[in-house]
Chain A
Amino acid sequence: MKVKEIAKYVRSKNAGPFWITIDIFCRSQEDFQLLRQSPNLTADKVAKMYGVKPGSVQVFYADRINVIKYSFPRPHPQGSRYENDMHGGQQYVLLAEQEV
């Protein structure tokens, strides 16, 4: 199963001009635990997925609302000549498509 098939929704956005943050909202504690324990969704795997430095991805578990959050420095600061997504709002798709 893919993340998008389990999660209620997944979203991404800039967290300031130098960071991207991605939130996975789960419907239940069970789904939250399933994703939390997936070997494909560790900080290192997410770093690889987004082509950022290993160790640069921070993961937060908001267990009261069943949300998993990943934050990492952008490969290029927001709005540089290499920008492909000014607000970072479409970057979640890569994670949503990931096999759990």
Chain B
Amino acid sequence: MNTCKILMPIGNLGIGLNRQEVEEAMKQKPDAIAVDAGSTDSGPAYLANGMNKYQKQMIRHDMEICIVAARKANIPFLMGSCGTCGVDGMVDLCYELALDILKEHNLQGKIARIYASQNAEVLKRKYREGKIHPLEGASEISEATFDQCSNIVALCGAEPFIEALKNGANIILCGRATDTAIMAALPIMQGCDVASAWHGAKVVECGNLCTDSRKGTGVFLTVDENGFAVTPTHAEAHCTPYTVSAHLLYENVNPFRLKEPSGLIVTDKCEYTQVDDRTVYVTGTRFEPAEQYTMKLEGACLCGYQSINLVGMADPKVMANPQKWIDNVKMLVDPLIEAAGYKKGSYTYEFKAYGYNAVIPGPVPEGTPVPREIGMLLTVTADTQDEATQISKIFNPYLLHCPVDMSAQLPSFAFPFSPVDCARGGTYEFMFHHVVDVDSPLELVRIDYTDYKSDNSTGGC
């Protein structure tokens, strides 16, 4: 029977792998190491700027542990969503790191770079042809949306990874991919049950989150022709039917129907069996192949610049009703911004009363105790940094002195900085919650190969 064992060493590459844990795990003889290195979860700035969230040397540190282990065992290393956002530049960054690692350790490898950045003109044509479709909850888009985005990526499925594996690559560095595709690719290629490969990949995509312990970061996914098993790498961590099935809830809209480029994973009739005290075996997953292969799009654009101002307040009169203070400031400052020549609509501003209702917006329930102090954050957003800063300066004296009771003496609130206004830089937005129809899984993807020989052998890279 075909079986395929994947080592998923950590939920996100770049946060700090334990070398010893991976070396121990390698004794279990996995068929591949697969790891996710990206997410949209930290917001649109990373994609808009094409930048990595985790520190470059930490990315190298984690890649080094994986690449050295994989090359020594002669198994593939698959890394998806390079550099958080998965743009081409981040694939190139990880490629440079991989070359450097191979060179340092005097190793050889065939590196595949899978590029998933998208050309706006190509997508605009797809859009005109009616081949771009909104997902539930999407914002309205037009052709202009494609030009507004500084970066657009399409999420790769398992097929580009399989293509690279078939071409002999053993270090696969992919741009943006679905988290699952990275782990599902090799089991699918080796003839394991497709539904179980996808479902198992979904369970292990966040590493130890599907276990009962934060000891160790990794898990093994073993897929066969009937189902899949999940086991933590750390001897003191356990998977149970509860931890494994509960993980499908995490960051998913619907835990029973999970969409992938090539179809739908259906998990509502699965059986979860404890096979030893640390391993769960799952059967009964179904996979409904899609009639049309689609890739999810992600795009982000710059949509203004921000200036932020933090004011500390411990005055009980303000604490009793921070909204009244905010309303007073608005009433006094709005006409001044207009008098200074700034047109409404060219800027926005927003107060957030931390310690009161900044995190959970809206009225505070009756009976909520008056806080001892709050941090009032004013954020001004405008088309340029200078405009945002200038508008903050108009607010400045009122942030410092505005009373709640207009007949009272002027208070002075607690500024933590001089100047109190801080140029925060750009603010960004995600623009797409859409999928694009493709003629083949590789239509919008480009794969480049490099056969790297170590310095001791003939040839270069």
Interface residues of A (CB under 8 A from B): 13-19, 21, 23, 25, 51, 56, 58, 60, 62, 64-65, 67, 69, 71, 73-74, 77-87, 90-91, 93-94, 97
Contacts and interface: CB of A to CB of B under 8 A. Distances in A.
Contact of A18 (B137, B250, B360, B427): B137
Contacts of A56: 137
Contact of A51 (B42, B362, B433): B362
Interface string B348-360: 1010100000111
B41 A87 contact: yes
Nearest to A91: B360
A73 B360 CA distance: 16
Contacts of A83: 43
B138 interface: yes
A84 B250 CA distance: 21
Chain B contact-residue range equals 35 or more
Q: Which 9 pairs, one residue from A and one from B, show the smallest C-beta to C-beta distance?
A: A73-B137, A79-B43, A71-B253, A79-B44, A17-B430, A18-B433, A18-B137, A15-B253, A81-B381
Interface string B133-166: 0011111000000000000000000000000000
Which of A15, A65, A73 has the most chain B CB atoms inside 10 A of its CB? A65
Given A81-B427, A86-B42, A86-B43, 10 more contacts: A15-B251, A18-B430, A23-B249, A58-B253, A65-B245, A71-B254, A78-B44, A81-B381, A84-B359, A90-B360
8 contacts: A15-B251, A19-B137, A60-B254, A62-B249, A77-B44, A77-B430, A79-B44, A85-B359
B451 interface: no
B246 A65 contact: yes
A73 to B, nearest CB: 3
Contacts of B255: 60, 62, 69
Contacts of A18: 135, 137-139, 430, 433
A77 to B, nearest CB: 5
A78 B43 contact: yes
B242 to A, nearest CB: 6
Contacts of A94: 360
Contacts of A64: 245
Interface in B246-265: 246, 249-256
Interface in B402-461: 427-430, 433
Given A65-B242, A86-B42, A90-B360, A81 B348 contact: yes
Interface in B80-108: none
Nearest to B138: A18
B92 to A, nearest CB: 25
Nearest to A22: B249
**Chain A contact surface mostly:** loop
A86 to B, nearest CB: 5
Nearest to A85: B359
Which of B41, B306, B358 has the most chain A CB atoms inside 10 A of its CB? B41
B120 interface: no
Contacts of B433: 16-18, 77
Interface in B311-362: 348, 350, 352, 358-362
B17 interface: no
Contacts of A23: 249
B40 interface: yes
B303 interface: yes
B407 to A, nearest CB: 33
A21 B139 contact: no
A73 B136 contact: yes
A47 to B, nearest CB: 13
Nearest to B381: A81
B310 interface: no
B369 interface: no
Contacts of A93: 359-360
A73 B44 CA distance: 17
A84 B40 contact: no
Contact of B429 (A15, A79, A97): A79
Which of B135, B242, B429 has the most chain A CB atoms inside 10 A of its CB? B429
B130 interface: no
Given A16-B40, A90-B360, A82 B249 contact: no
Which of B246, B304, B358 has the most chain A CB atoms inside 10 A of its CB? B246
Contacts of B136: 73
A77 B429 contact: yes
A100 to B, nearest CB: 16
Given A18-B137, A81-B306, A81-B379, A13 B250 contact: yes
Contacts of A17: 40, 43-44, 298, 430, 433
A79 B45 contact: yes
A19 B252 CA distance: 9
Contacts of A65: 242, 245-246
